[in-house]
């Protein structure tokens, strides 16, 4: 699935250069469930953005199924994101004036599906996440956990092969967190690759393996009792 080859990402701020990512070669294979852990500012979200084709590295190669992601045109990268990847964000990024059904329809509309197919697919996915009775509710009429489930349904709209999740349980109560993590487990059992950035040790322990980021460098964390620095 993913292979990083000597990838670096450097930010320039006020005349200073900060290395947010300095990765030697490592792979995330098909069907993996990897939790990316590490202290704040260690480069976790930068890594996720680089994997998702949203942030060009300064050097190195990011391969997706053997093809160099950042040697593709901007339009081709956008098409790969739309067809191959699903994104889950801590802040959900739902459109406030659209209903749950309409929010899930958005990626289907962008992919050119008919209105009928959009409605049927969106309703099916919302039923799958337990919101079949909330199709016409807007985000402000849903609980925080329900909003995250709408976001998960939207993520699955185009049947992505890989899911990139940035702190998906960060704003959730314990019950909602369990629902989201159980759903991610289910998606991984279906063969989808999941890369999840998290500060939550309990969430990370759901993953098959951990990648620890410290000062932009990636190491494989040993499986066992996981301690995550804030």
Q: Is the dihedral of CA 74, 150, 48, 189 positive or negative?
A: negative
HEC string of 198-222 equals CCCHHHHCCCCEEEEEECCEEEEEC
Q: What is the pLDDT of residue 226?
A: 46
Distance from C-alpha of 114 to C-alpha of 23, rounded to nearest angstrom:
42
Query: Which tens digit of pLDDT belongs to each residue from 47-73?
Result: 999 999 999 999 999 999 989 999 999
Distance from C-alpha of 8 to C-alpha of 116, rounded to nearest angstrom:
44
Question: Apex CA 189: angle with CA 187 and CA 191, to 5°?
Answer: 80
Distance from C-alpha of 105 to C-alpha of 109, rounded to nearest angstrom:
6
Asked which of 79-83, 99-103, 184-188 is least confident by mean pLDDT, the reply is 79-83
Query: Which tens digit of pLDDT belongs to each residue from 113-145?
Result: 999 999 999 999 999 999 999 999 999 999 999
**If residue 80 lies in a helix (H) or strand (E), which one and from where to where?**
helix 74-84
Architecture of the domain spanning 31-53+74-221: 3-Layer(aba) Sandwich (3.40)
* Bridge partners, residue 37, by sequence: 212
Q: What is the pLDDT of residue 220?
A: 65
């Amino acid at each position: 699935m993913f292979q990083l080859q000597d990838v670096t990402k450097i930010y320039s701020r006020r005349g200073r250069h900060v290395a947010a990512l300095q990765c030697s070669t490592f792979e995330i294979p098909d069907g993996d469930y990897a939790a990316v852990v590490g202290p704040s500012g260690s480069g976790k979200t930068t890594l996720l953005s680089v994997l998702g084709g949203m942030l060009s590295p300064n050097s190195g190669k990011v391969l997706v199924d053997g093809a160099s992601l950042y040697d593709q045109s901007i339009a081709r990268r956008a098409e790969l994101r739309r067809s191959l990847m699903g994104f889950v964000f801590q802040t959900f990024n739902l459109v406030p004036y659209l209903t749950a059904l309409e929010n899930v329809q958005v990626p289907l509309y962008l992919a050119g599906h008919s209105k009928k197919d959009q409605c049927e697919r969106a309703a099916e996915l919302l039923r799958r996440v337990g919101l079949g009775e909330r199709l016409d509710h807007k985000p402000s009429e849903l609980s925080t956990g329900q909003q995250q489930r709408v976001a998960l349904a939207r993520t699955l709209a185009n049947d992505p092969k890989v899911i990139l999740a940035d702190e998906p349980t960060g704003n959730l109560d314990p019950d909602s967190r369990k629902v989201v993590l159980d759903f991610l487990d289910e998606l991984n059992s279906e063969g989808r690759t999941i890369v999840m950035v998290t500060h939550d040790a309990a969430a990370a322990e759901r993953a098959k393996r951990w990648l620890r980021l410290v000062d932009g460098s990636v190491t494989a964390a040993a499986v066992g009792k996981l301690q995550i620095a804030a």
